[in-house]
């Protein structure tokens, strides 16, 4: 998406727009006039004085991620065969697509879009011209760099926000969800996937887990359209076995080997009732619409979808 289609907000003064002129990024406010760096042709719209992201290390690394991911066609095909290709995600995005197609030239924001998530490939192709993606590092898939705790965009901008496998990696998930709520239009949609019964991944950058009910309450300022499990008890068991043997042999390689050996456990999810899978889910999802009336503590108790 062309950056000029979006009204960017200066993350420092919270007053001026960001102007992209002559290959630079500048705050339009006369008293601020903050200039933001351009790294690998991506504007870095971060207030480093308030962010956990350190400017010195970011500039030194040229905006590259400290977390490396292998991305090639052969590896991707093998991974899809062994661990699935995001079937639940695909169904959810098909449901969302039907609603988004009702909007003329919709604006879609991908939070943490540094890699295309499982089940997201077709969605990217379908809405390529409508998608704006950001992360805390730079690569060819991204349009700009930002801290999700402080999204540098004007209020009421987007029709849809997707936050897939991101909220476990931020310091304050509530603050990130509040930012998403702010930049969504009235009746705008949000789609989120977050782990529940998963061991630590991405090391020091992994902070939080949510039950299905906890995830729902995280999005208390949204009315619910759909929610449920991403991977049930079989997938959870696969994760546990791989980490058990990885710990026993003190080896990350052995952890991966045993995950491959027990990949078939994920098919057990299809034999288990939905409510049982929710209680032991590997991850959970939420599809919601921006609402002016938050759900109450009593309503979240009544919401529970598990088997207990």
What is residue 196's three-state secondary structure? coil
Q: What is the per-residue pLDDT for 54?
A: 84
Report the chain's C-alpha Rg in angstroms.
20
Q: What is the per-residue pLDDT for 58?
A: 84
Q: What is the per-residue pLDDT for 80?
A: 62
Distance between CA atoms of residues 251 and 245, nearest Å: 8
pLDDT tens-digit profile of 155-197? 999 999 999 999 999 999 999 999 999 999 999 999 999 999 9
Q: What letter does residue 203 receive in the DSSP assignment?
A: G
Q: How many CB atoms lie within 10 A of CB 31?
A: 8
**Which segments in the chain show pLDDT lower than 70?**
63, 65-85
Distance between CA atoms of residues 183 and 204, nearest Å: 29
Q: Which domains, from first to last, does the chain contain?
A: 3-60 (no CATH), 73-303 (3.40.50.150)
Helices (H), 154-290: 173-183, 212-218, 233-248, 252-261, 274-279
Q: What is the per-residue pLDDT for 162?
A: 98
Cβ–Cβ under 8 Å, residues 87 and 267:
no
Where in 28-155 does DSSP place strands (E)? 35-36, 38-39, 42-43, 108-111, 131-135, 144-145
Q: What is the per-residue pLDDT for 64?
A: 72
**β-strand partners of 160:** 108, 189
pLDDT tens-digit profile of 87-115? 999 999 999 999 999 999 999 999 999 98
Distance between CA atoms of residues 61 and 58, nearest Å: 5
Q: What is the per-residue pLDDT for 61?
A: 77
């Amino acid at each position: 998406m062309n950056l000029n289609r979006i009204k960017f907000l200066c993350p420092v003064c919270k007053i001026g727009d960001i102007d992209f002129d002559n290959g630079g990024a500048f705050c339009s406010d006369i008293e601020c006039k903050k200039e933001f760096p351009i790294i690998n042709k991506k504007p870095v719209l971060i207030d480093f004085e308030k962010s956990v992201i350190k400017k010195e290390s970011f500039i030194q690394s040229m905006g590259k991620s400290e977390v490396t991911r292998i991305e090639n066609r052969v590896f991707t095909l093998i991974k899809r065969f062994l661990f699935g290709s995001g079937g639940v995600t695909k169904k959810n995005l098909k449901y969302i697509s039907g609603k988004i197609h009702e909007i003329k030239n919709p604006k879609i924001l991908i939070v943490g879009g540094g890699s295309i998530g499982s089940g997201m490939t077709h969605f990217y192709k379908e809405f390529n011209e409508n998608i704006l993606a950001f992360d805390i590092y730079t690569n060819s898939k991204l349009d700009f760099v930002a801290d999700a705790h402080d999204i540098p965009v004007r209020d009421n901008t987007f029709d849809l926000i997707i936050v897939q496998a991101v909220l476990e990696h931020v310091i304050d998930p509530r603050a990130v969800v509040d930012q998403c709520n702010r930049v969504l239009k009235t009746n705008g949609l949000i789609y989120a996937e977050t782990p529940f019964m998963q061991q630590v991944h991405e090391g020091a950058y992994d902070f939080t887990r949510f039950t299905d009910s906890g995830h729902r309450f995280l999005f208390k300022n949204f009315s619910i359209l759909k929610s449920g499990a991403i991977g049930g008890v079989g997938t959870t068991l696969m994760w546990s076995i791989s980490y058990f043997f990885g710990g026993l042999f003190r080896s990350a390689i052995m952890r991966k080997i045993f995950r491959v050996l027990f990949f078939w456990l994920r098919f057990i999810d299809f034999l288990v009732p939905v409510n049982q899978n929710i209680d032991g889910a590997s991850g959970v999802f939420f599809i919601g619409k921006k609402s002016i009336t938050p759900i109450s503590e009593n309503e979240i108790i009544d919401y529970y979808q598990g088997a207990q």
